[in-house]
Chain A
Amino acid sequence: MLNISLQLPRDRFLLDVDISLDGDSIWAIMGRSGCGKTSLLRAIAGLESGAKGKISFHGQVWLDTDTQMCVAPEQRRIGYIFQEARLFPNLDVMGNLQFARQRACRRDNTFSFSHVVEQLGIDHLLGRRIQALSGGEKQRVAIARTLLNTPDLLLMDEPLASLDWTSKTTILPILRNLQKEFGIPVIFVSHAREEVARLADNMLLIDHGRVKLQGECRRLFISMDSDLISDDGALSILEADVTDHDEDHGLTELSLGRQKLLVNWVNAEVGTRLRILLPAQEVSIATEDLDCLSIQNRLAVTVETMKELGNRNVLLSLSTEGQTVQAVVTCRAVDMLGISIGKPVFAYFKASCLNVV
């Protein structure tokens, strides 16, 4: 459990937060750029000398301005993955990893050298010089270096921001696995909605140095005021269980309560619970059940809320089986179909637009 009660003056605002984060999940700190996300993360790490207040982690006090107590960053046993890899240029890849290993607090098998190197797929890079690595490789080495240091808490500041799409797609699943695989709490900063949806269980939304929302991602993504974050499109997070595989068509069948979903083949056993991301732009609405359509997925839903967006579009929240699907439709479609709150409709979306995490 991480308890934070903190004030830190910034150029344009005062970062002022009072929060408790449980240690068994991945937390995301979201918000527009310059809202204080990174400052908060740096303050937790002890890298902001102007921070005032109290920070404690599992009962161990890191900062208490009242008693003039401030534990140095090097004694907090935090792993910090920066936006840039920050590898030591005077050492090669192996040297960087050993630097962290030699200063590790514990030696246990979860963080064994071979395990970490294998998880991050960097065994072929060990002898390389830092200058000869690509951006994605550097970041993977940086993550490995942090893990080999056996931290008690992992902080990540937009670890994917400086990477291209290919590197992102290789590193995302690794990050998603970190908490499960290594059993340490993770807090990461991001401004990208999809990144948060893929990685985090819980989130904080920060605006001008204050916490606006705090809670489970799946719920906050629905209720969140979309102008509080840089908008890369509304998104729904669904949870569904694997029920069957259709090998002939390369599809996997999932159940969402009593309803069925089809997604592109997923390598998961029957009964596995999966997290699925569905962009609101990809969802179409029909008032009748259509059967002459190429679109494979159809959910019977009820309109819960309607919110007009600036660009003559409407964001619909649709409930089904205790979960919520968001859809963006035009004002014209709302008028023509007579969509209103409480109305049962059908949501259609292609199997290929579903992202399984």
Chain B
Amino acid sequence: MLITAIWVTLKLATITTIILLLLSIPLAWWLANMQSRIRPILEAIVGLPMVLPPTVLGFYLLLLFSPNYAAGQAWLSLTGSTLAFSFTGLVVASVIYSMPFVVQPLQRAFEQLDKGLLEAAAMMGAGAMDRFFNIVLPCSRRALVLAGCMGFAHTIGEFGVVLMIGGNIPGETQVLSIALFDAVESQSFEMAHQIAGGLLLFAMVLLVFLYSLDRRSGKSSGSRVC
């Protein structure tokens, strides 16, 4: 049971992180360079999961996934199954729930990037895509690592949303945080210790890695941008 929960959790966090990076990199670049007055509104929408109780998000997602509404209906007719109480549903929810933790560090790095470098690259004949892939992304690699780690760790730590829309199906939607809750409920404290201790250790190791990364690159480059 523990192994299955670890497998589901890691699979969920990995898939979520990959999807999040693919979505967040263009989104963060767009937000960072946006002049429009609707920018704060978009930033607020992306940032909502940071302040909203996870259960609120879970509740609305549950409604959205339900075949009684258009989105859930469309998904059902397309795939033949519902999103609620499925692994795919968990991925969708995790992407939304962890998005601010990935978008925000990226957006900050993109905003701090010296635009003079991009002008210099343009004068050498580098087009927009060329500049993005060969200057912007390499110069933001620390933020990329940070964003990926934050997205991964935050997905592992989620509980409320999973409980609302995923339930507790072993091998499908039972992640470690739910398994821990389950173990405490059924008074299997030995199991609870293993899960809680493991998650604590994981969080600690990840944070030490992130902070040492910050220190290392800060020293070697001497610049905050790259």
Contacts and interface: CB of A to CB of B under 8 A. Distances in A.
Interface string A67-81: 000001111011110
Interface string A289-330: 000000000000000000000000000000000000000000
Contact of A80 (B120, B126, B139, B226): B120
A271 interface: no
Interface stretch (A99-107, A162-170, A226-234): A99-107
Contact of B139 (A86, A89, A100, A104): A89
Interface in B170-216: none
B125 A89 contact: no
A145 interface: yes
A47 B118 CA distance: 11
A18 to B, nearest CB: 25
A72 B124 CA distance: 12
Nearest to A99: B124
A149 B223 contact: no
Contact of A74 (B122, B225, B226): B122
A73 B117 CA distance: 14
B124 A86 contact: no
A88 B221 contact: no
A82 B116 contact: yes
A198 B114 CA distance: 32
A103 B126 CA distance: 7
A45 interface: yes
A72 B126 CA distance: 10
B221 A86 contact: no
Contacts of A287: none
A182 to B, nearest CB: 16
Interface in A62-121: 72-75, 77-80, 82, 84, 86, 88-91, 99-100, 103-105
B222 interface: yes
The B contact surface, by secondary structure, is helix
B33 interface: no
A131 B141 CA distance: 17
B120 A89 contact: no
Interface residues of A, number: 26
Contacts of B120: 80, 82, 86, 88
Nearest to B114: A86
Nearest to A101: B124
Contacts of B226: 89-90
B123 interface: yes
Interface string B38-59: 0000000000000000000000
Contact of A88 (B117, B122, B127, B130): B117
B223 A89 contact: yes
B222 A131 contact: yes
B134 interface: yes
Nearest to B220: A131
A100 B122 CA distance: 10
A100 B135 CA distance: 13
Interface string B93-104: 000000000000
B218 interface: no
Contacts of B26: none
Contacts of B125: 74-75, 77, 103-105, 149
B124 A45 contact: no
Contacts of A73: 119, 122-123
Interface string A25-57: 000000000000000000001010000000000
Nearest to B125: A103
Name, among B116, B125, B127, the residue most crowded by chain A CB atoms within 10 Å (CB to CB): B125
A16 B139 CA distance: 37
B119 A86 contact: yes
B134 A99 contact: yes
Contacts of A89: 117, 139, 221, 223, 225-226
Contacts of A80: 119-120, 123
A47 B116 CA distance: 11
Contact of A84 (B116, B126, B222, B225): B116
Contacts of B134: 99
Contacts of A88: 117, 120-121, 135, 139
Smallest CB-CB A-B distances: 8 pairs: A90-B138, A86-B120, A103-B125, A80-B123, A89-B226, A73-B122, A74-B122, A149-B124
18 contacts: A72-B122, A74-B124, A77-B125, A82-B119, A84-B116, A86-B119, A86-B120, A88-B117, A88-B121, A88-B135, A89-B117, A89-B225, A90-B135, A90-B139, A99-B121, A103-B130, A149-B123, A149-B124
Interface of A: 45, 47, 72-75, 77-80, 82, 84, 86, 88-91, 99-100, 103-105, 131, 145-146, 149
Interface of B: 114, 116-117, 119-127, 130, 134-135, 138-139, 141, 220-223, 225-226
Given A45-B123, A74-B126, A91-B138, 9 more contacts: A82-B116, A82-B119, A82-B120, A88-B139, A89-B221, A89-B225, A100-B124, A103-B126, A146-B124
